[in-house]
Structure formats: C-alpha cells, structure tokens
Amino acid sequence: MTTATINLDYNQIRNIVMQMPLQEKKRLFEELDDFYATSVSEDLPPYTMAEINARINEAEDDIANGRVYPADEMHKSLENKFPWLCE
C-alpha cells in the first residue's frame, strides 16, 4: 500500500470543512471530540483551594472592572467565528 502525506494549513482545512454538508461536519466534530477525549491525560491533579479561590478572585475582579461581555454579544461573536455550528 502507498501512503501519501498532505500538508494543509488551518485556512485550507477550514475551507474544506466549510464546504461540507452539515451532517458530515457533525460527524467530523464527533470523531475529533472522541479522539481528543482519548488523547487527553486523565492524570490531571485536582485544583487546590488556593487555585480555586484565585480564579474566583480574578473573575470577581473582572466583573468589578467591567471586563465582561453580555451573553447576547458573546453568542453573536461565537456565531460569527463558528457559523457552521449554528446551521
């Protein structure tokens, strides 16, 4: 059997995916999700209370200083970035 290697950059792959029918896109994303789920290490240590509290403090600081987005604005941004997921 002969094997060929094809090198595609992000934009080339994105253009191919954008032309796929919706059902094929969904199947592709499910397969990629399965692949990712099996390739991620399960040996991740849990967060410490100090790390959790630091994240909470950071989020509260973001809220207090207006570094937040309304849900509808974030939804619109995601629709623009990933239109094939909203078909």
Q: Mind giving me the DSSP string for 18-75?
A: HHS-HHHHHHHHHHHHHHHHHHS-S-PPPPPHHHHHHHHHHHHHHHHTT----HHHHH
Q: CA-to-CA distance for 35 and 32, rounded, in angstroms?
A: 5
Q: How far is CA 76 from the centre of its chain?
A: 16
Please state the rounded mean pLDDT for residues 73-81. 89
Q: Which tokens hold the place of 58?
A: 């950071």
Mean pLDDT rounded to a whole number for the chain: 87
pTM of the predicted model, to two decimals? 0.42
Q: Would you place residue 33 in the very low, low, confident or very high pLDDT band (cuts 50, 70, 90)?
A: confident
Please state the rounded mean pLDDT for residues 47-64. 96
- So what's the pLDDT on residue 50? 96
- So what's the pLDDT on residue 1? 62
